[in-house]
Amino acid sequence: KQEVTQIPAALSVPEGENLVLNCSFTDSAIYNLQWFRQDPGKGLTSLLLIQSSQREQTSGRLNASLDKSSGRSTLYIAASQPGDSATYLCAVRNDMRFGAGTRLTVKP
């Protein structure tokens, strides 16, 4: 059974910092990996989807990388803003299991 781990569980940074969130998984036979954002009391919003054949994907200030052989993905957020404060989750396919998430707080 696939196990997905996200470190750290919580992160607090001052506005403007660049930061990295980590996601690790135990079974490297995945189709893709998806990063999500969740605001309190809301559903999950898709941020980036990386196919197993890709090494990275970029959207605006976000960059996600994937290293299947080591079972790792990172989400890089450049020039963080208070509006980035949320919980960030990763999920791996085949079976769409999730990590517990990283709760990010960006302080003005």
The residue (of 47 and 77) whose beta carbon lies closer to another protein is: 47
CA distances to 11, 72, 89 from 97, rounded to whole Å, are 22, 14, 10
Binding positions for another protein, rule: CB under 8 A: 31-32, 34, 36, 41-46, 49, 51-52, 89, 91, 93, 95-101
Residue 81: count of CB within 10 angstroms of its CB: 12
User: Min. distance of Cβ 16 from another protein in angstroms?
Assistant: 29
The residue (of 46 and 81) whose beta carbon lies closer to another protein is: 46
Q: Which two tokens stand for residue 87?
A: 């919980």
User: Min. distance of Cβ 10 from another protein in angstroms?
Assistant: 12
SS3 69: coil
SS3 1: coil
Cβ neighbourhood burial of 66 (10 Å; 0-12, 13-18, 19+):
buried
User: Min. distance of Cβ 96 from another protein in angstroms?
Assistant: 6
User: Min. distance of Cβ 92 from another protein in angstroms?
Assistant: 11
The residue (of 72 and 93) whose beta carbon lies closer to another protein is: 93
